[in-house]
Amino acid sequence: MSKIGWNAAVWRSWLALPKEPEVLVAQYGALKRQMPLLYTLIFVNTAAVTYTHWSVAPKWLTIGFSGLLGVVCAWRIVFWMRTTNLQRNEYCKARHQLRRTIYLSAVLGSGFLIWSLLLDHYGGTAEHGHIALFVAVTVIGCIFCFVELPQAATTGTLVVTVPYLLYYVSRGNAVFTAMALNIFLVNTVMIRVLCNSFMSFKTSIIATAAVAAKQRETEILSTENARLAHTDALTGLPNRRFFFSELGRRLADAKEGGSRLSVGVLDLDRFKPVNDTFGHALGDRLLAAVGERLLHNVGARTVVARLGGDEFGLIIPADSDVEGLGAAICEALGQPFEVDGHSVTIGCSGGFASFPEAGTTVHELFDRSDYALYHAKSASVGSSSLFSLEHETRIRSDRSLETALREADLATELYVVFQPILCTRTNVVTAVEALGRWRSAVLGDVSPERFIVTAERLGMMQSITLNLLGKALADFATLPESIGLSFNLSAHDIVSPSTIAKVLDHINKSTVDPKRIAFELTETSVMSDYDAAVMGIRALRELGIRVALDDFGTGYSSLSYLRQLPLDKVKVDRSFVTDINKPSGRNIVAAIVGLCRTLQLELIIEGVETEGQLIALQAVGCSLAQGYLFAKPMSVAELTLWCAGQEFSSTALPQYNVESTSRTLLRAG
């Protein structure tokens, strides 16, 4: 019993197929090609034996057997021809089929052997010889067809050749015994050769599979590397590089398909103060939260990328409502974020440009969405705008402005006007603000807001500032000692050590006492590079120059900045004066007055246009004011005349009197 069990185990292990899935699948593929040939060979050989034994053997053994075999062969040929090649993951199916083939080779081999031995009882020497030849060539043919399945070849060979040899030995026929022995030996050698060739087949399949696996691994790695190179580590969104290459690709598709496409640039508002106040770690998490909220608010087909800093980019598919999307994003990002236990409110402004109207290249579309963003920000922070015809006209006029400014003779075309700053109680002029003017030889008068922005863009700000300062100092030197000078510095000036050094040099060389001078800076200009701006402010203050924060209330109005910055004065923006006669407006101004008192900062209110405003301002404690009610900006000559008249009116009338000022203005004008 145990011997039988051992034999079964040996047979099982011997019949065991390779474990490697790719080898099984390859064996199956080879078999699929060779099995139809094998069945054809068997059938042809059987038909030949049937033919030679037709007249000597019973019909059931000749035509009966070959007819039945013909049906079986046809069925197997059709079966193998209809099978398809298997994939690696279908190796179980391959193993099952290979096993069936091994068993079938044993069954068919036994069937053929019995048939041959039964036929061997009929006919003469020639017929016996044919049977021997039939057994030999059929087994050799099978061995060749099973070159990739040696288990089936060996099973078939053993099942046929061993009993065949024993049969002739038992019959005592020396010639046929020798032939059977010969067939047995040849087949044994062939099986051995077959096993060697199968081993190299197996090795080559395993090696090819290993190479393919390595290749797949390399591909996965390089895909991952490419993904990382295109991903922003902080937010997990695509980065700037991906944004531009994807925009290029989508734009090419849009051009080819005749479809539309829009580009968006989003810039976070108030991100910098949040970052500075709460720290960079919170700032980083806030940016990640912004990324998530953006993804949540745009459609699945819109690409959202982080372009750098607090700037995000969008690529919007053809059929989207771009303006609606812009408004929705600004609204969504304006809602508070909960980060690290803090409720933080920022906001966002957006600029959009659509293909083909706004541009036809990546560069044009991006520039124009950036231009639309700039306009959205200047019109109303927290809004979005789509690049339009109006923007196009504006770009053209900007270009002509740039050309005119580049070619301008700054020494003759630039000049300075002065607007007085008065004490609201005494009506006495305490200072004058110098305001730059440009009368272009090509364009005529250009507003300072426009030419200063253009000069900043062209990198010409330093020469313009120094030119205007030189003129302001020269004019100012002629004014009475009691009056101070306020001069505006741009964002580029205050963060540029070389400009600050040259400004100080100009002042040192002039006859004006630095203590009479105040420089006005806006909050946004300080924010552009806080550290550099603080250095600039310190350098100015070391010389005794005072520094004012201009347009207070229009920027971030961050109290921490007001406390941290080394300031002397605050100039409250004229938008606050407009509402001064409403209780809410009055309360805000009163609060700012109180704040400045606490922080020991001098307060000047700008843009006073009516007597009613002035009275309300006096009531809340504003002691210094500037505005058209007193005087518009004027040349130094006009100012001198105006001051003379003002002196007269202020001594005659200690409190402000509208009529007298109007008269003075008329006289001065």
Give the nearest residue (CB) to Ca ion. 520
From the list ligand C2E, Ca ion, none, which binds 447 (C-beta under 5 to 8 Å, kind-based)?
ligand C2E
When CB distances are held under 5 to 8 angstroms depending on the partner's kind, the choice from Ca ion, ligand C2E, none that residue 235 binds is none
Taking CB under 6 A as the rule, does residue 350 contact ligand C2E? no
- Least Cα distance to 27 among 102, 90, 94 occurs for 94
Listed in sequence order, the DSSP H helices in 258-409 are: 271-278, 280-297, 322-334, 362-379, 389-407
Q: Is the bond preceding 36 in cis, omega lying within 30 degrees of 0?
A: no
177 alpha carbon, distance to own chain's centre:
82
> By C-beta, is 382 or 448 nearer to ligand C2E?
448
Q: Which is nearer to ligand C2E, 397 or 447 (CB)?
A: 447
Enter the DSSP assignment of 579. Answer: T
- The mark string for 483-522 relative to Ca ion (x by CB under 5 A, - otherwise) is -----x-------------------------------x--
Taking the complex as a whole, the smallest distance from the CB of residue 435 to Ca ion amounts, in Å, to 7
Q: Phi then psi for 648, rounded to 5 degrees?
A: -60, -50
Which entry of ligand C2E, Ca ion, none binds 156, CB below 5 to 8 A by partner kind? none
The one-letter code for the residue type at 363 is: H
Helix or strand (DSSP H, E) at 418: strand 414-423
**Residue 448: which of ligand C2E, Ca ion, none does it interact with, CB under 5 to 8 A by kind?**
ligand C2E
Among 143, 268, 429, 489, binds ligand C2E (CB under 6 A): 489
Burial 515-535 (b: 16+ CB within 10 A, else e): ebbbbbbbbebbbebbeebbe
- Start-to-end CA span in the chain (Å): 132
Rounded CA-CA distance 630/7 in Å is: 120
Considering only residues 600-659, where is the footprint of ligand C2E by CB under 6 A?
606-609, 626-628, 633
Which region, judged by CB under 6 A, interacts with ligand C2E, from 151-159, 219-227, 443-451, 661-669? Answer: 443-451
Instruction: Work out how close the CB of 488 gets to ligand C2E at its nearest, in angstroms, rounded to a whole number.
Output: 4
x/- map, 143-172, ligand C2E, by CB under 6 A = ------------------------------
- Identify which of residues 160 and 572 has a Cβ nearer to ligand C2E in the complex: 572
Nearest to 464 by CA among 440, 484, 431, 443: 440
Q: Strand pairing partners for 602?
A: 569
Pick one of ligand C2E, Ca ion, none as the site partner of residue 490 (Cβ within 5 to 8 A by kind).
ligand C2E
Nearest alpha carbon to residue 122 among 62, 178, 179: 62
Determine which residue in the list 148, 267, 310, 550 makes contact with Ca ion, applying CB under 5 A. Answer: 550
**Stretch 429-488 residues interacting with Ca ion (CB under 5 A):** 488
Indicate the SS3 state at residue 179: helix
- What 3-state DSSP class applies to 654? coil
What is the size of the binding site for Ca ion (CB under 5 A)?
4
Interacting positions 563-602 with ligand C2E (CB under 6 A) = 574
Minimum CB distance to ligand C2E smaller for 325 or for 605: 605
Distance in Å, CB of 421 to ligand C2E, minimum:
10
Cβ distance to ligand C2E smaller for residue 269 or 551: 551
Of 458-477, binders to ligand C2E (CB under 6 A) are: 468
CB contact at 8 A, 334 and 381: no
99-107 contacts, C-beta under 8 A, 24 or more apart: 99/15, 99/17, 101/31, 101/35, 101/149, 101/152, 102/15, 102/149, 102/151, 102/152, 102/155, 104/152, 105/142, 105/146, 105/152, 105/153, 105/155, 105/156, 105/159, 106/155, 106/156, 106/159
**Which residues, at least 6 apart from 619, have a Cβ–Cβ distance to it below 8 Å?**
586
Query: Residue 627 binds which one of ligand C2E, Ca ion, none, with CB within 5 to 8 A depending on kind?
Result: ligand C2E
Binding partner of 419, given ligand C2E, Ca ion, none, CB within 5-8 angstroms per partner class: ligand C2E
- 555 forms part of the interface with ligand C2E (CB under 6 A): no
In the structure encoding, which two tokens stand for residue 254, read together? Answer: 């849009």
Query: How far apart are CB 457 and Ca ion at their closest, in Å?
Result: 20
Contacts (CB under 6 A) with ligand C2E, residues 366-425: 419
Q: Read off the tokens for 109.
A: 């081999």
Q: Which is nearer to ligand C2E, 314 or 503 (CB)?
A: 503
3-state SS, one letter per residue, for 124-160: CHHHHHHHHHHHHHHHHHHHHHCCCCHHHHHHHHHHH
- Interface pick for ligand C2E out of 22, 148, 367, 550 (rule CB under 6 A): 550
Among residues 218, 361, 378, 447, which is the contact residue for ligand C2E, using CB under 6 A? 447
DSSP string computed for 540-557: HHHTT-EEEEEEETSS--
φ/ψ of residue 517, rounded to 5: -105, 140
Q: Site for ligand C2E (CB under 6 A): which residue of 262, 385, 490, 558? A: 490
State which of residues 21, 238, 420, 436 lies at the interface with ligand C2E (CB under 6 A): 436
- Binding residues (CB under 6 A) for ligand C2E: these are 419, 435-436, 447-449, 452, 468, 488-490, 520, 550-551, 574, 606-609, 626-628, 633
What residues make contact with Ca ion under the rule CB under 5 A?
Answer: 488, 520, 550-551
